[in-house]
Structure 1
Amino acid sequence: MSSKRTDSPKTSIVLVGGGIGGLALLNALSTSIDPEKHTVVLVDARPTHMHLISSLRLIVSDADELLTKAVHPYGDHTFRNKFAGNGTFVHGSVTSVKFGDGGKGGELILNNGEIIGYDILILATGSSWPRPLGFPTESRGAIEDHIMARRAEFSKAKDILLVGGGSVGLELAGELKDIFPSKPVTIIHREQLLLNATYPDKFRLAVQKQVEARGVTVLTGDAITASDASDVSTSQVPEGGFVTEQGKTINPDLVVPTWGNSPNTSYLSPDLLSSTGHVKILPTFQLPAHPNVFAFGDIIDWKEQKGAAKAAFFHTPKVAKNILSYLKLAESANVSSVDLMASKKSAKYSGSMEMIMITNGKARGIGYFDILWGIIVGGWLITLLKAKTLMIGRIPSQTGFTPK
């Protein structure tokens, strides 16, 4: 331990990112933090929590009233238990971070010019997604406009091409087939099998068989250029369609980019990031040069598949334990920097099992769990766990908000 603490009356804990992982951590800390000693600030680029698990169904149609059930505002209700009356929500995007030396507090600079000081900083800024999941940030109204525009595109389209056969493309295809069963939908995927090599070939082939059974055309080992997929909208498809890299001609009237995500880390300097833009961390989820700064979720540089379940169920318990240990150890020794790697009371992350549940509309799906020999589970279980309701019933317990 080193560096004396500042004389601030309360320790300021700032969490950037109110996604599924961020809210899971906020709720985990809310039962243990001492409000007489600590304050908490939640910063998010959007004024609302977007439940990404249900977002693909949300942008296809108004089924299940998801616009009300899955898009919850942040507010006083977000802060519960010991955080009640002791938390602040700030709507804004972080543009840069001024780090303190040796574990001392620093500052966040937001896009609106606001500056927020912190003693403990937690980064859970998640991923950026291509259209159609690139929801606006400025207001709920803009988010609703985006959703309505996507619904109109899908409704108007006569032939839809999804560029990318990962989980987003696969689940979107299933949602489209639920609402527009006779509308042609094609998935084009650069790899020879759907998804990626994290998963066994047997599972990847089973996924393809299930999606093709819905009437979806699957083109693997082929691609169109990224610029085509990014720029083309319903009114901009080239006359005569596209010629793929393998020489096939396809003629959709709507092209939707559904390839993978990228980490939201542009506010950090390159020396803190890997070549892929992910945040370098210790097994304690701390930044190596900044022990009072933690990062978790999609943004971390860790060899594993990214996803909300990883952040909420596997990262959050260890991050929460380490933050509480950090606060306790720093307070007891009256220092601002704690070496959690050397502490027996800290939780070290060594990874978690790979698992994926892919919905195929409301009544189908398939999943894989990397336990024992690798278990593939069928549609009835995925329907029960995810596909039918998309876990909508869990959202109020995460956000503290109950839609009327």
Structure 2
Amino acid sequence: MDSKKSDNKRNVVVVGGGFAGTLVARALSSKLDASQYNLILVNDRPYGIHLIAGARMVASDLDQLDSEDKAFIPYSKLFVHGNGSFQEGRVTAIEEAGKGAGGEIVLSNGERLAYAALVLATGSSWSGPLGFPESDRDVRAHIQRWRTQIADAKDIYIVGGGSVGIELAGEIKEAYSHKKVTVVHSEGMLLNGIYPEKFRKDIERRARGQGIEFVFNDKVDTFPAPGAVGLTTRGGKQFSTADLVIPSFGSRPNTAFVSTLGSDVLAADGSVKVKPTLELQAHAGIFAAGDIVAWDEAKQAAKANAHVSVVAANVLSHLAGAPQTKQYKGSFEIIMIPLGKTDGAAYANILWGLMFGGWVTRLIKGKSLMVGTVRSDRGL
């Protein structure tokens, strides 16, 4: 795609077709004047992956989630009244024309795409089962490979007792109740200190009720080669029958290309430094949303909704040459952890701190993993 458009419209580009990026693109598509602007969504695969369904999708074929009418989210109806387009590609660099004067993004195939305003919403990169590759063929092979490994294993160890690790353990038990599943976690309780001890103990109690076992205050430094049997932790514990060890920790903002703007744009953890307007510091007209935002909050899809309203409003203000008045002030912490389709727990730090059990968690998330809601929010 040429960086200049023959119709002389200015480009508004959203990079990242995941949870936050699609919501930003849809919001902008309903507000941008199509006679003046081309709205373009850039993503490295031809659909988004609904990561909330990721643990169930890799654990088994339950609900047949790996399809474009389930957890693969096509962009065919994303843009309101068709006001937008999709460009498949991976961004490798950003080149500014001048302060607030737009610039170009550079794709891995060498193509350049001009922008008058740019939104970065590239999410997190994961290792292990949720580390989905770029191409459709590789994504499907990745899912099938993990399903096969899990189906063939008898004694499974999941390293990382955050929400993803807990959910994955629950999904494996949902599909294979007879398998031995153990979660290894570096702290003395599941999750981390963002959440109260009462909630952390409650989700552990519920998981144990499903037969999930735990190793606390320990880590795994060396993962066994595929097909190998046996595991030794950093603390010296040995599990001789472990035949599948799954990493479920260490997500990192997918922001390597953003560093081409300069060494000062990223925080130490790789997240993007922003103002309260969610515009990048010292880079006018470039905004960030979703997991990549450097903000003191848990990285969750639920936060994206609050980011989107701020970013969309301020992109429009930037294009109009008006002051950006919309500011992000943070969101309350909320977490919902299903244990398969039958149990789970949730917590929200509002009022005195509200906890919910299996019925609420199953109704809102565990039963359908919000697939229908996410698709509807994107025009499907």
TM-score interval (norm. to shorter): over 0.9
> What CA distance in whole angstroms lies between the structure 1 residues aligned with 2:172 and 2:287?
39
Q: Distance in 2 between matches of 1:37 and 1:279?
A: 29
Task: Select 2:357's aligned residue among 375, 378, 381.
Answer: 378
Aligned residues of 1:12 and 1:120 also touching (Cα < 8 A): yes
Match status 1:360 vs 2:350: no
Query: Residue 165 of structure 1 aligns with which residue?
Result: 161
- State the Cα deviation string for residues 323-377 of structure 1 (Å, max 9, x = none): 222223x2xxxxxxx552xxxxx21111110110001001211001000111111
Contact 1:44–1:91 (CA under 8 A) maintained in structure 2: yes
* CA displacement at 1:65 relative to structure 2: 1.8
In the alignment, is residue 184 of structure 1 matched against residue 183 of structure 2?
no
Q: 1:259 to 1:327 in 2, by over 3 A?
A: same
**Does 2:306 correspond to 1:314?**
yes
Query: Which aligned pairs between 1:202-281 and structure 2 lie closer than 5 A?
Result: 202-225=198-221, 228-229=222-223, 232-237=224-229, 241-251=230-240, 252-269=242-259, 270-281=263-274
SS of match in other structure, 2:179: coil
Counterpart for residue 324 of structure 1: 316
| Contact residue 263 and residue 278 of structure 1 kept, 8 A | yes
Residue 36 of structure 1 corresponds to: 35
In the alignment, which residue of structure 2 is the partner of 1:149? 145
Output one character per residue of 1:118-175: Cα deviation in whole Å (capped at 9) or x when no partner: 110000000001111111102x222111111111010001110000000010000000
Cα distance in 2 between the residues matched to 1:65 and 1:398: 21
Please tell me the residue identity of whatever aligns with 2:282: A
Could you tell me which runs of 5 or more consecutive residues in structure 1 were left unpaired when the two chains were aligned.
1-6, 331-337, 341-345
Unpaired runs of 5+ residues, structure 2, are 1-5
Which deviations, in whole Å up to 9, do the C-alpha atoms of 1:226-280 show, x marking residues without a partner?
Answer: xx23xx344134xxx2332333211310010001310000002232101111100
**Match of 1:108, SS?**
strand
Measured after TM superposition, the shift of residue 20 of structure 1 is 1.2
CA RMSD of aligned residues (A): 1.7
Three-state SS of the structure 2 residue aligned to 1:324 is: helix
Contact 1:76 1:88 (8 Å CA) reproduced: no
Match of residue 3 from structure 2: none
Partner Cα separation in structure 2 for residue 125 and residue 396 of structure 1: 19
Following TM superposition, by how much is the alpha carbon of 1:394 offset from its aligned partner in structure 2, in angstroms?
1.8
2: CA distance, partners of 1:112 / 1:88? 19
Match of 1:77 in 2: 77
2:22 corresponds in structure 1 to 23
Report matched runs for 1:277-296 at 5 Å: 277-296=270-289
SS at match of 1:356: strand
Matches within 5 A, 1:377-396: 377-396=356-375
Q: Paired residue for 1:302, among 295, 304, 326? A: 295
CA-to-partner distance for each residue in 1:29-51, whole Å, 9 max, x for gaps? Answer: 22211111111111011222101
Question: How many residue pairs are counted as aligned between the two chains?
Answer: 370
Q: Report the alpha carbon displacement of residue 8 of structure 1 after superposing the two structures with TM.
A: 8.4
Which residue number corresponds to residue 334 of structure 1?
none
- Kindly indicate whether the alpha-carbon contact (under 8 Å) linking 1:54 and 1:70 is maintained by their aligned counterparts in 2: no
Asked if 1 retains the 8 angstrom alpha-carbon contact of 2:170 and 2:340, the reply is yes
In structure 2, relative to structure 1, the CA distance for the partners of 1:304 and 1:75 (3 Å cut) is closer
Shift of residue 71 of structure 1? 4.0
Q: Distance in 2 between matches of 1:149 and 1:355?
A: 32
Q: State the secondary structure of the residue aligned to 1:77.
A: coil
Identity of aligned residues (%): 42
Match of 1:55 in 2: 54
Find the residue that maps to 1:294 and give its secondary structure.
strand
Distance in 2 between the 1:52 and 1:299 partners?
15
